[in-house]
Amino acid sequence: MMKKRRTFSFSSLILSRISWCLVVIFSVWGVWFYWAIINEINDETDDALEDYSETLIVRSLSGEALPTRSDASNNQFYLRPLPYRDIPLEERIRYKDSMVYIPKKREHEPARILTTVFVDGHGNLQELTVLTPTIEKKDLREAILFWIVVLYVLLLLAVLSVNIWVLNRGMRPLRVLLRWLDEYRIGGRHNKPLDNETRVIEFRKLNEAAQRHTQRNEQLYEEQKEFIGNASHEMQTPLAICQSRLEMLLEDETLSEEQLSELLKLRDTIERMIRQNRSLLLLSKIENEQFGEAAPQNLNALLRKYCPDYEEVYAYKQISLAIEERGELEVEMNASLAATMLTNLLKNAYVHTPEHGAIHIYISSSTLSVCNTAAGGPLDGAHVFDRFWHSSKREGSTGLGLSIVRSICRLYGLHIRYEYRGGNHCFRLSKAGVE
């Protein structure tokens, strides 16, 4: 099973990537800036130490007396003799950083140290160490880090603010198009035209492509509806003729039992075809909005009218029926379609309820739920309202009843959904805006 990937809006994705890029850029820049500053400070300090060291060596070689204490600049030096030996060239001049004690300040401070080995006028090796206090590098790192963070936050806020403004303005045509596509319904009579003027060439092409596809889909949808309607209508006459002639054959007393059995099977098949044909015609009329004006319909009264009929038809299954009325449910719709919607829900419940099962109907001022005992597990909620979808083949089922219910609900802005609760199949009908 594939793991579901997280999704983001285009704006949030761009802003997050900009933020991460700025983190990387500022981190690299901060490290480079710190080492550039340190190298520059060390170069300047080393030049000063070299000048000071050369002055002391010249005075020592000329026989002049060296200073006995540090000068006002906090520079210090130490001179000590070394036993004579060959000293590699790279060890004659050495630089390093260390903590030293400054008598004048009576504290330890970081210092830059230069050690030079030279031969005095008597041919003896001397080691001269000169040092000067320098900056506290830890404080420098903390200061650089602090100001880099401040700069990053300020720059990030500025960049994000500008990008949010630019993206919101720039992506407005895309949001308008997406909202229009979400609200668009194939075959809907109340679809709004796409009003999405933009100077961006890519968005204009996207608008045109979306409109072309919707027009093509509308054309295909209309052709499909016309085909279904025409085909169903044209099939009515030959089916009626076949049924009539079959009834005449069944009245023939010379038929054998085997022939009679085959003819009865054929009659059942034709009757099922006639029911499906009528259902397809009804669907076509619903989707073409060919029904009369809507009027307030009391579903409580319709239930009380049709429930006894279905109890009588399916009495052999010994199904118990319970109706719980919590309010009066009235909807604005065509009277014929209201009856069709309720009778299809009732028939679906009776057909798919096992013997000695139970049907519970709950009705309030905003919802209607029809629940029946399930013969198996839950149904596929994604396909239960599809045409000709069967969880299992049942006698008297055309596979179009729930599809008709859904089409009627769409026509009048009602919501229908399937739920599986406590071993029961439940079909819940509700008014718009009610969950």
Q: What is the pLDDT of residue 1?
A: 42
DSSP H helical segments within 62-110, as ranges? none
Beta bridge partners of 415: 430
Residue 102: both structure tokens together: 């400054």
Residue located via tokens 């209607």: 368
Q: What is the pLDDT of residue 371?
A: 93
How high is the mean pLDDT of the chain? 79
Query: Residue 332: enclosing H or E segment and its boundaries?
Result: strand 330-333
Q: What is the pLDDT of residue 409?
A: 87
What's the whole-number mean pLDDT along residues 281-309? 79
* Residues with Cβ within 8 Å of residue 291, at least 6 apart in sequence: 285, 334, 336, 337
- Provide the CATH topology of domain 194-290: Helix Hairpins (1.10.287)
* Residues with Cβ within 8 Å of residue 281, at least 6 apart in sequence: 229, 232, 233, 236
Q: Is the pTM of this model over 0.85?
A: no
Q: How confident is the model at residue 426 (pLDDT cuts 50, 70, 90)?
A: very high
What's the whole-number mean pLDDT along residues 333-351? 87
Q: Which amino acid is at 425?
A: H
**354 by DSSP, 3-state: which?**
coil
Distance between CA atoms of 165 and 39, rounded to whole angstroms?
A: 42
What CATH class does 295-430 carry? alpha beta
Calculate the dihedral angle through the C-alpha atoms of 77, 91, 39, 108, rounding to the nearest 10 degrees.
Answer: -40
What whole-number percentage of the chain has pLDDT above 90?
5
Instruction: Please state the domain extents for the chain.
Output: 11-156, 194-290, 295-430
Q: How confident is the model at residue 6 (pLDDT cuts 50, 70, 90)?
A: low
Q: How confident is the model at residue 427 (pLDDT cuts 50, 70, 90)?
A: very high
pLDDT digits (tens, 9 = 90+) for 58-82: 877 877 777 765 555 567 788 888 8
Q: What is the pLDDT of residue 183?
A: 82
pLDDT digits (tens, 9 = 90+) for 353-395: 889 999 999 999 889 999 999 887 788 767 788 776 665 555 5
